[in-house]
């Protein structure tokens, strides 16, 4: 099928490349001239495992192309994906300006086409309930084109986005047109392993499914993070509790890993948006409120613990922060736990030396020369009074710990992701402090 993707950011580029890989002809629209040039040179502007390779194959074969012009892409398309950002405004409400702009441009393109064939507009962006219905009404008023709108929320995770996109555990389509549902079924056919993985529902249910999924996942993490307080007080092990409850198939094991707080461009934004959607519906959402409060407190608690255990005043101490990205396998630092952890450390007067495998350049823009930037974790730890591990890069688990301990002022490590082995750390001379686990 002929597919247009409006917005080649994270979701748009992964979706477009994967749709090209399963045989569709894709035109991606990118308005940022620098990003467009990068894409037209065949390069991926973001770091995502496997994406550059998939792009290479499909760009070389012409299966995916890039343009700066919406009309160029929409002209032949049967399916038009809107994949523009819906970032939070300072008050936490959703900024819809990019989506509205893209909707208008697509509408203008459709008005010129007057196509008798159905064009399905697919809203992939995460949007408040009611948005798809409004877009549909707007398009019906403004154009004579045979057009339908469906909501198709995205569930891919950074770091495994290509894999998630090629092996979706469900495809959710919201709308009210059986014809558009059939079109989406045909589009996604090669990715549908079981018929019940393809779900159709009304617009509002699909829109809220996205917020509910991210809020539920964030709630699980915040719940386990809150458990770390009890575990540390009573001497329990949050990892044992994770296994103990995760083996109950009503609960399941995923997204129960405690740590120094969740981050990223999605959970914080979507939980905040859910709170505002609730306010708009006339009530205060106590649940999303609690998820966010626990997450904020967890990062503070992590630094308070460092201060309490350090054995010397934190003001003037040197802390090495390992991990700046909001999780491993990405260079994305948006809402990363390290942002708050570093800020709290600086506020307390500590000297911070930081390292990350991919996110360092972005973090430099935030803290500039307030932090010493280190090209490897060993250098970051040399002479430090403690290491604070904030991102679960697997590389941090196989470092030469004995050598590191010997170069530190005091070999102390605070594992904010519970990814190191207590015995290994102890054997190598470290005082080891995980989250919600006995030291
Ligand atoms: C999240 C969702 O998992 C995706 O399903 C969704 O499509 C995406 O948001 C989105 O809305 O676009 P993502 O933000 O890429 O994906 O990353 P996750 O793997 O979910 O991790 C988010 C944060 O939670 C990270 O900071 C991670 O360290 C933390 N986390 C995750 C935990 O602290 N514990 C866990 O058990 C799992």
What is d(CA 185, CA 192) in angstroms, rounded to the nearest whole number?
8
Q: How far, in Å, from the CA of 433 to the mean position of ligand 1? A: 24
Tell me what the mean pLDDT of segment 407-413 comes to: 97
With a CB cutoff of 8 Å and minimum separation 6, the contacts of 153 are 124, 126, 172, 174, 206, 207, 209, 210, 213
- Is 38 marked within a binding site? no
Assign 114 a pLDDT band (cuts: 50, 70, 90).
low
- Which letter, b or e, does each residue of 410-439 get, where b requires 16 or more Cβ atoms within 10 Å of its Cβ? ebbbbbbbbbbebeebeebebbbbbbbbee
Q: Is the pLDDT of residue 91 over 70?
A: yes
Q: How far, in Å, from the CA of 330 to the mean position of ligand 1? A: 12
Distance of CA 334 to the CA centre of its chain: 8
pLDDT at position 360:
96
The tens digit of pLDDT for each residue in 150-181 reads 999 999 998 899 999 999 999 999 999 999 99
Weakest mean pLDDT among 67-71, 194-198, 286-290, 392-396: 194-198
Assign 115 a pLDDT band (cuts: 50, 70, 90).
low
Nearest atom, ligand 1, residue 262 CA? 26
Q: How far, in Å, from the CA of 48 to the mean position of ligand 1? A: 15
Residue nearest to atom 18 of ligand 1 (CA): 157
- Is 75 marked within a binding site? no
pLDDT, the chain, mean: 95
Contact between residue 355 and residue 300 where contact means Cβ atoms under 8 Å apart? no
The tens digit of pLDDT for each residue in 226-275 reads 999 999 999 999 999 999 999 999 999 999 999 999 999 899 999 999 99
- As for ligand 1, residues whose beta carbon falls within 6 Å of it are 154-158, 214, 217, 221, 255-257, 259, 262-264, 266-267, 326-327
Phi, psi dihedrals of residue 32, rounded to the nearest 5° = -75, 115
pLDDT at position 145:
84
Helices (H), 235-359: 238-246, 267-280, 286-309, 337-347
Domains and CATH numbers, the chain: 2-200 (3.40.50.720), 202-439 (3.40.50.720)
The tens digit of pLDDT for each residue in 347-383 reads 999 999 999 999 999 999 999 999 999 999 999 999 9
Instruction: Using most ligand atoms within 8 A of CB, pick from 10, 262, 295 the residue to mutate for ligand 1.
Output: 262
Weakest mean pLDDT among 115-124, 158-167, 208-217, 412-421: 115-124
| Spatial CA neighbour of 10 closest among 100, 102, 95, 83 | 83
What is d(CA 87, CA 269) in angstroms, rounded to the nearest whole number?
7
Q: How far is CA 343 from CA 321, 366, 371, 386, 399, in A?
A: 11, 10, 10, 16, 26
Instruction: Using most ligand atoms within 8 A of CB, pick from 125, 208, 264, 436 the residue to mutate for ligand 1.
Output: 264
Q: How far is CA 14 from CA 73, 124, 314, 322, 351, in A?
A: 17, 12, 43, 28, 39
What is d(CA 248, CA 415) in angstroms, rounded to the nearest whole number?
27
ipTM, two decimals, is: 0.98
Q: Which two tokens stand for residue 150?
A: 């469906």
Contact between residue 346 and residue 314 where contact means Cβ atoms under 8 Å apart? no
203-234 vs 267-280: helix crossing angle, rounded to 10: 120
Q: How far, in Å, from the CA of 264 to the mean position of ligand 1? A: 7
Beta-carbon neighbour count of residue 116 at 10 Å? 8
Nearest atom, ligand 1, residue 11 CA? 12
Instruction: Using most ligand atoms within 8 A of CB, pick from 225, 267, 328 the residue to mutate for ligand 1.
Output: 267
Residue nearest to atom 11 of ligand 1 (CA): 266
Q: Just list the catalytic residues.
A: 266
Tell me what the mean pLDDT of segment 53-69 comes to: 96
Q: How far, in Å, from the CA of 294 to the mean position of ligand 1? A: 16
| Spatial CA neighbour of 100 closest among 125, 71, 66 | 125
Return the higher-pLDDT residue of 93 and 413. Answer: 413
Residue nearest to atom 20 of ligand 1 (CA): 157
Q: Are strands 119-123 and 412-415 parallel, antiparallel or unpaired?
A: unpaired
With a CB cutoff of 8 Å and minimum separation 6, the contacts of 316 are 349, 350, 351
Give the dihedral sign, CA 181/182/186/187.
Answer: negative
Q: Is the pLDDT of residue 116 over 80?
A: no
| Spatial CA neighbour of 79 closest among 129, 25, 13, 39 | 25
DSSP 325: S
Contact between residue 299 and residue 333 where contact means Cβ atoms under 8 Å apart? no
| Spatial CA neighbour of 366 closest among 341, 395, 329, 396 | 341
Nearest atom, ligand 1, residue 221 CA? 34
Tell me what the mean pLDDT of segment 289-315 comes to: 97
The tens digit of pLDDT for each residue in 99-111 reads 999 999 998 898 8
Contact between residue 266 and residue 272 where contact means Cβ atoms under 8 Å apart? no
- Give the whole-number percent of the chain exceeding pLDDT 70: 100
Assign 439 a pLDDT band (cuts: 50, 70, 90).
confident
Nearest atom, ligand 1, residue 154 CA? 7
pTM: 0.93
The tens digit of pLDDT for each residue in 187-210 reads 999 999 988 899 999 999 999 999
């Amino acid at each position: 099928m002929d597919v247009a993707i409006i917005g080649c950011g994270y979701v748009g580029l992964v979706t477009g490349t994967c749709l090209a890989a399963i045989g569709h002809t894709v035109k991606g629209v990118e308005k940022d001239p620098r990003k467009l040039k990068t894409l037209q040179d065949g390069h991926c502007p973001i770091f995502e495992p496997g994406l550059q390779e998939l792009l290479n194959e499909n760009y070389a074969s012409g299966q995916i192309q890039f343009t700066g012009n919406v009309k160029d892409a929409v002209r032949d398309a049967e399916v038009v994906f809107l994949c523009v950002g819906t970032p939070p405004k300072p008050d936490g409400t959703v900024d819809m300006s990019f989506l509205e702009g893209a909707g208008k441009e697509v509408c203008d393109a459709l008005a010129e086409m007057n196509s008798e064939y159905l064009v399905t507009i697919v809203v992939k962006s995460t949007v408040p309930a009611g948005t798809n219905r409004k877009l549909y009404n707007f398009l019906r008023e403004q154009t004579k084109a045979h057009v339908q709108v469906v909501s198709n929320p995205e569930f891919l995770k950074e770091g495994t986005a290509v894999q998630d996109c090629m092996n979706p555990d469900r495809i959710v389509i919201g709308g009210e047109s059986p014809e558009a549902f059939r079109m989406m079924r045909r589009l996604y056919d090669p990715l549908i392993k079981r018929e019940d993985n393809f779900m159709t529902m009304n617009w509002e249910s699909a829109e809220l499914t996205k917020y509910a999924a991210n809020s539920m996942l964030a709630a699980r993490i915040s719940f386990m993070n809150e458990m770390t307080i009890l575990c540390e007080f009573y001497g329990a092990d949050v990892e044992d509790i994770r296994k103990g409850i995760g083996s109950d198939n009503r609960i399941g094991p995923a997204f129960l890993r405690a740590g120094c707080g969740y981050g990223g461009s999605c959970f914080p934004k979507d939980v905040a948006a859910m709170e505002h959607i609730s306010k708009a519906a006339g009530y205060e959402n106590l649940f999303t409120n609690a998820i966010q409060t626990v997450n904020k407190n967890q990062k503070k608690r992590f630094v308070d613990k460092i201060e309490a255990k350090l054995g010397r005043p934190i003001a003037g101490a040197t802390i090495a922060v390992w991990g700046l990205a909001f999780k491993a396998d990405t260079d994305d630092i948006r809402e990363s736990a390290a942002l708050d952890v570093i800020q709290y450390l600086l506020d307390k007067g500590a000297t911070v030396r930081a390292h990350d495998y991919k996110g360092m350049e972005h973090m430099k823009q935030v803290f500039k020369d307030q932090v010493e930037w280190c090209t490897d974790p060993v250098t970051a730890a040399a002479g430090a009074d403690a290491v604070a591990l904030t991102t679960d890069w697997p590389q941090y688990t196989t470092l030469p710990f004995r050598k590191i301990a010997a170069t530190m002022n005091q070999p102390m490590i605070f594992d904010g992701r519970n990814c190191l082995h207590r015995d290994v750390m102890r054997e190598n001379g470290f005082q080891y402090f995980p989250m919600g686990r006995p030291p």
